[in-house]
Every structure is written in C-alpha cells, then in structure tokens.
Amino acid sequence: MTREIMGDSSGGKGLGYEPDPHRRTIATCAVIGGVLALVPLLLFLTKPTMEIPAGGFSGGFGVSGAEASRSFSVGSLFVFRLLMLFVLYRAVRRRWLAAPAAPVTRTLVVMASVLAALSVLHLLVAAVQLVQPEYRVPEMAAASMNAGTSAQLWACMILGGDRLLRTRAADDERLRRRDRNSQLLLAFVCTLPSIAVLIKLIHGMVQSGADLASAVLLSLPTTAIALWAVHRMQRYRRMPFRILLAGFGWGAVVATGLGLALPLLYDSLSYQLLGYNRFVAIIDGFKAPVVEELVKAVGVLLIAVVARRWVTDLVSGLVAGAGVGLGFNFVESMFYMAAPSMGGALYQHWVRQVVGIMLMHVAFSALGGAAIGAARQVRNPRTRLAVIGCGLLTAICGHYLYNSLISLLPLMFRVSEPVFAMVVLPLLVLLLLGPFLLMYLLLLRRGLRYQSAALAVELRHEANSGYDAVTAAELPVLLNPARRFRTRVDAFRRGGLRAYRRLSRLYQAQLDLGMCHWHQARQDPDRADVDLALRRRRVQDLKTGLEVRTDRGC
C-alpha cells in the first residue's frame, strides 16, 4: 500500500495527511466499470430495434369518457400542483425548513429536493394529460401522483403553520418541541409518494394471491446475517447499529418506492411523447440502474448528513451504503419470490438471498457509499463532487452490466434445471459481479489499512500527552482487532456478559477518541466539533467502572 501518511522528524502532531487519499482508486474503479458496461451496450447496438411512433401507446392506457370535464379538472389540478411546487422551491431556497445552522436543515433540504424532483415529473405527466385528453396514466403512476399531491399539500401546510404561528410559542422549550415535531412530520411527508407506491404494489400482489409472508420469512435470516456481517466490516470504530438499521429502512421503503415510481412515470412520458426507437431503448436499459443507484445514494447522503460524526471516511460510507443496499435487496427479493412468473420462491431465494446477497445491490450501494464517505475527507468541493460522481458511475455501470447480461448468458447453456441453478447460475453471477465485489473489498481493505495507520499515530500521541485515557501498554491491543476480541472473551470468562460489554464500550470510546484526533489533524471539511476533554472523561469513567467491577469480583 502506498503511504498516504507523510511524517516529519518531530514524531508527533506534525504529521500531515494527504487531502484526498482515495480519489485515484475510486476513479480507477469508475473507468473499469465503464469499460465493462460497454460490452452489453455494444451488443445491443448491433441488434435491430422495433420502431413505434409517438402516441402509439395511447390506446393501451384507455380513453376517458367526459373529455371536457376531465380536461378542466386536470387543468385545475395542474395549476394547484404548480403553486405548491413553487412554495416548496422557495422553502428549500430560503431554508424555511429549520434553523439555518441546524444539521437537520440539510437533511430536510435533501428530502424536500427529492419530493420537488418527483413533483416535476408529476407536473410533466399532468401537462401531457392536459394536452392529450385521451391519454390515461397507468394505475401505479396515478397512485404516485396522488400521493405526491398530498405530500406537497401537507408540506405547504406545515411550512405555513410554522411561519404563521412561530410568534405564539410561550417559551423556547415549546418552540423547540414544536419545531422538532414539524421537522419529523415534514420528513415523513416527503416519503409519502414512495410509501404509497409500495403499499399499492403490495396490495395488488396480495389480491392476486401472492404469498408475501413466506417470502419475508425466508429472506429474514439471510438478511439478518448479512446485516451483521456488514456491521462487523468495521474493524476499529463501529457506527451504532441503529444507524445501519436506518439505512436499511431507507433502502427497504423509500428507495424501493422511488425505484418503482420514477421508472413508471418516465415510461408513461417517453412512450407517449417519443414512441419507441433505438434511442428510447438505450435509455430504457439505463433507466433502472440510474434511478435505483441515485435514490440509494440519497439515503447514504442523508445518513452522512444526520450522523456526521459516524460517517467520516471511506469505510463508514461503504458500510452505510451496504446497509441501504441490503434493505433494497430485501424488499426486491420479497417481490421476486412472491411473483409466480419469476421462476419460483426457492429459485429467487437461492439467487438473491444466498448466492448474490453480498453482491448485486449491496455491492453497487457499497461502491457509491464508499465514494460519499471518501468525499468527506476531500477539501476541494469540485474534487468532492468528482469523487462522488465516480462512485455512482461505477455502481450504475455494474448494475447495467448485470441487468443486461444475466438474461442473455443463460441461453448459452443447455443443462438440466438443478445443474443450472446450483452450478451455472452462481458462476454467471460471480462472472458478472466478481469485478465489482473485488472493487469494494479492495476499497474496504484500503480504508481499513488507512484507518489503522492513522489510529496508530493519533493514539500514540494521546498516550504521550499525559492523560490516562490511553496508555502505551494498551496500544497493541487497541490496534489489533483479534487481540481486542480475545481480551473481551477473557473478560467474559471472569466477569460475565456485563464485563464483556463494559470492556467493549471502553475500547470503542478509546478508538472514538483516536478517530476524533485524526479528523482534527486532517482538518476534514464539515467535521463535527468535538470536545476531547469530554471524551477523555468518558474513557476514564469507563476505566474506573472496570476497576470497581474487578475489585468486587475478586
């Protein structure tokens, strides 16, 4: 590994860190992913494409009866949506969503921007309805539009109520409590369109007789094991499991709903306005990869904004991205397993929950999350955007490669179904996604080695500072995950589960102190202000508690 930590002769805090240590690695991954994605694209360009003129799909959507009345209602609703979108845009621009300096402001701005982008698509569909009265929106797209209109209305009411009633609060505590409730309600409102689409799809599948309960029960054990493995990827400081669960929830609910709604809205617009030709067919191939990877990346970005203290580098971003991908994969596997036309529940479970659970969406989201985490250590804003763009490009190219070739390559093999499912299919999945699995494992290894080298420097400086939070005798144990585990096992044998957990908290507090030193030494942008004295006091309190427990046990 190339040394990114450049030292000087002073041997202490004079050490400097490279401002963007992972930029070239992530850019190389993007180049490799782009080259691999050219293979299915070139194969597609060599084949003829069916041509259908614009408007040729109108009959498939049905024709409305009362044209004049329907045009008036569609026009009124279009104007109403436009006004609400303008209010939402002003709220985002003028930071009406929360206090300007509050961290939650960025979160609400991102979520409101997603709602505004979805509302723009709703407006375009409504405009087509207004111009072409015979055009009928598909049922799922209509559910998304209705939920989007309700979300906009609720958002405008919350924003208006906060601005009109702000002066009526009797004290600061009531004002803070009301602001917090408004922010939570606004965040929920922004997710309404995706939740509505998800509920609509689940309701339709249940009515058709799909066994979703069995699919959920089959997928839960493998998903729980994979989520535990993703959390254990962090060999030093680990983010709280609740943050990983929040990312899982975003992937399972919001990202899945938006991943269903946005392609449906695009299809209803493109087929009506452009028809079907080679250009539309090419865009269709990239439609699902682009939309799904973007909405999953938004979830990682929100985690990085809300949990700024925990998502600070490549490793933490990669873990957050993998958690979002696991949530998306869980719900998508549930739908594929319950659908009768997808080869059966056991076949889909084997492909998506056993063979490919750490591949597919987990690998793609991990690559995008790694780029977002690495961007937290980049000072130049343009370079930061370039790093995130390279990570997203790698994820999109991998997703496109898999979607394009996984249905073509099996046609080359003529074997029995058991041999195909147990031997051929796993080999094909590894062939297509092996390079991307290797990419995110190499990124994880690189990030862990970088963390280890930095923690060795910063914890040694803390041990030499004269405080009792970290001592020189503790450094070999803190910097070696295997020795930390053996020491915790010894504590469990001597003092039981309580001693094991208390020692684990002590190690995490000491590693957290070292990471805080590291980010301050790097002068990372957007780093959270930390109180080192408070963290040292927490470590010393944990040490005192351990000593008291040991004395009582003896």
Q: What is the pLDDT of residue 367?
A: 92
Question: At residue 110, does pLDDT exceed 80?
Answer: no
Q: What is the mean pLDDT of residues 459-479?
A: 85
Higher-confidence residue: 205 or 524? 205
Asked whether the predicted pLDDT for residue 554 surpasses 70, the reply is: no
Mean pLDDT score, 265-292: 76
Angstrom distance (rounded) from CA 173 to CA 179: 10
Whether the per-residue pLDDT at 133 is higher than 60: the answer is: yes
- Model confidence, pTM: 0.83
Q: Which two tokens stand for residue 369?
A: 């999350």
- Long-range contacts, stretch 239-242, CB < 8 angstroms, 24+ apart: 239/307, 239/310, 239/311, 239/316, 239/319, 239/320, 240/310
Q: Give, as one character, the DSSP assignment of residue 252.
A: I
* 403 compared with 176, residue with greater pLDDT: 403
- Looking at the chain, the whole-number percentage of residues with pLDDT higher than 90 is 12
pLDDT at 270 over 60: yes
pLDDT of residue 525 exceeding 70, the answer is: no
299-314 confidence digits (pLDDT tens) = 998 888 888 888 888 9
4, pLDDT greater than 60: no
User: What's the pLDDT band for 91 if we cut at 50, 70, 90?
Assistant: low
Phi, psi of 487 (to 5 degrees): -65, -40
pLDDT of residue 102: 54
Residue 78, CA distances (Å) to 92, 149, 262, 341 in order: 21, 10, 19, 38
Q: Is the pLDDT of residue 393 over 70?
A: yes
Least-confidence region, from 79-83, 233-237, 418-422, 469-473: 79-83
Task: Give residue for tokens 């147990």.
Answer: 422
Give the percent of the chain with pLDDT over 70: 76
Alpha-carbon separation of residue 254 from 193, 288, 331, 363 (angstroms): 9, 15, 11, 19
pLDDT tens, residue by residue, 360-384: 899 999 999 999 988 888 878 888 8
pLDDT of res. 466: 76
pLDDT confidence of 331, banded at 50, 70, 90? Answer: very high
302 within 8 A of 324, measured Cβ to Cβ = no
pLDDT in tens, 121-130: 777 777 777 7
pLDDT at 11: 38
**How many angstroms separate the CA atoms of 544 and 255, rounded?**
45
Residue 238, burial from CB neighbour count under 10 angstroms (0-12, 13-18, 19+):
buried
Tokens of 329: 């994969």
Residues 33-45 have a mean pLDDT of 78
More reliable by pLDDT, 14 or 397: 397
Least confident of 74-83, 148-157, 234-243, 327-336: 74-83
Q: What pLDDT shows up at residue 267?
A: 78
* Residue 229: band (very low, low, confident or very high) from pLDDT cuts 50, 70, 90: very high
The pLDDT of residue 17 is above 60: yes
Query: Which residue did the predictor score with more confidence, 64 or 387?
Result: 387
**Binning pLDDT at 50, 70 and 90, where does residue 543 land?**
confident
d(CA 341, CA 361): 22
At 550 the pLDDT is 35
Q: How far apart are CA 10 and CA 7, in angstroms?
A: 8
pLDDT at residue 14 above 60?
no
CA distance 74 to 126: 7
pLDDT at 224: 93
**pLDDT of residue 9 exceeding 60:** no
Give the residue with greater pLDDT, 528 vs 64.
Answer: 528
What is the spatial distance between Cα 421 and Cα 184, in angstroms, rounded to a whole number? 46
Task: Tell me the per-residue pLDDT of 50-81, one tens digit each, with 9 for 90 and over.
Answer: 455 445 444 433 333 344 445 555 566 667 66
Report residue 17: phi and psi, to 5°.
-125, 145
Given this model, what pLDDT does residue 222 score? 92
Range name among 88-102, 287-301, 349-363, 472-486 with the lowest pLDDT average: 88-102
**Which ranges of 166-277 does DSSP label H, i.e. alpha helix?**
172-190, 192-207, 212-232, 241-249, 256-273
Mean local confidence (pLDDT), 93-97: 59
pLDDT greater at residue 341 or residue 477: 477
With left for phi above 0 and alpha for psi between -120 and 50, is residue 344 left, alpha or beta?
left
**What pLDDT is attached to residue 244?**
92
Confidence of residue 7 (pLDDT cuts 50, 70, 90): very low
Can you give the pLDDT at residue 368? 92
Confidence of residue 2 (pLDDT cuts 50, 70, 90): very low
